[in-house]
């Protein structure tokens, strides 16, 4: 049975690199991209390498887009092996304080970073259950950790990613008697549009752990946990 992976935020950065890597490893990769024009360019780059990639438009902030994505994917494929909830934003000033927070901005960040992955999981779990070895990989962040001294910046982003870890835990419990495993991952501070040029890691380093989680022997992985550099880290 062909291995099928669905990746959100696949236009650039980590999402594009993961799409290329999994396709190179033999997966059929569905690239879900927010913007049709730039997404198509990214898709064509991989298609020109004779990789098995498929293009879909999906802005995870829009419930209707996720509904339409499910309809399209479920018509093309009868199962799903890997769902990577990579799409996310960090669009508030680092110095933002709760006392003067922009609620519209907070809501947008939560809708993209948390509600989007939650609804993606809700829609695609039936397809994942049809695989005998399925994985959900939710992108969190080091800023989500409650077990380390508070770094301070980006409260909305940090709150959304902490909630993603809780989502991972709930899903793992809900799916523990199925073939679906669920993980959160911190890719580290990576040189992407979000991470900026001063980040410590190259994109290839940032995708190492999520690709490992997508392909490693399931018996060696613990569902419901938070991973970084191929190791479980504290919440």
Which residues are catalytically annotated?
157
Buried b (16+ CB within 10 A) or exposed e, 16-28: bbbbbbbbeeebb
**Rounded to an integer, what distance in angstroms lies between the CA atom of residue 176 and that of residue 151?**
33
Contact between 185 and 227 under an 8 Å Cβ cutoff? The reply is: yes
With CA atoms as reference, report the closest residue to 3 among 23, 20, 21: 23
β-pair type (82-85, 53-57)? unpaired
- Copy the structure tokens of residue 45: 């780059």
Contact between 80 and 131 under an 8 Å Cβ cutoff? The reply is: yes
- 209 — phi, psi (to 5°)? -70, -45
**Rounded to an integer, what distance in angstroms lies between the CA atom of residue 174 and that of residue 158?**
25
**What is residue 60's DSSP assignment?**
T
Q: Reduced to 3 states, what is the DSSP secondary structure of residue 226?
A: strand
């Amino acid at each position: 049975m062909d291995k099928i992976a669905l990746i959100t935020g696949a236009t650039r950065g980590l999402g594009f690199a993961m799409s290329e890597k999994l396709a190179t490893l033999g997966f059929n990769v569905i690239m879900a991209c927010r913007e049709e024009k730039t997404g198509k360019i990214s898709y064509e780059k991989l298609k020109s390498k004779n990789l098995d990639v498929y293009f879909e438009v999906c802005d995870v902030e829009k419930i209707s887009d996720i509904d339409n994505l499910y309809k399209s994917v479920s018509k093309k494929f009868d199962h799903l092996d890997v769902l990577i909830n990579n799409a996310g934003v960090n669009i508030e000033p680092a110095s933002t304080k709760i006392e003067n927070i922009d609620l519209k901005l907070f809501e947008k960040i939560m809708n993209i970073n948390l509600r989007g992955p939650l609804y993606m999981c809700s829609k695609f779990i039936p397809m994942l259950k049809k695989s005998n070895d399925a994985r959900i990989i939710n992108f969190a962040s080091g800023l989500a950790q409650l077990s380390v001294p508070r770094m301070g910046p980006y409260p909305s982003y940090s709150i959304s990613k902490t909630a993603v870890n809780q989502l991972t835990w709930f899903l793992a419990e809900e799916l523990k008697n199925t073939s679906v495993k669920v993980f959160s991952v911190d890719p580290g501070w990576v040189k992407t549009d979000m991470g900026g040029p001063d980040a410590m890691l190259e994109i290839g380093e940032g995708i190492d752990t999520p690709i490992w989680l997508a392909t490693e022997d399931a018996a060696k992985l613990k569902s419901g946990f938070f991973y970084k550099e191929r190791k479980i880290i504290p919440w």
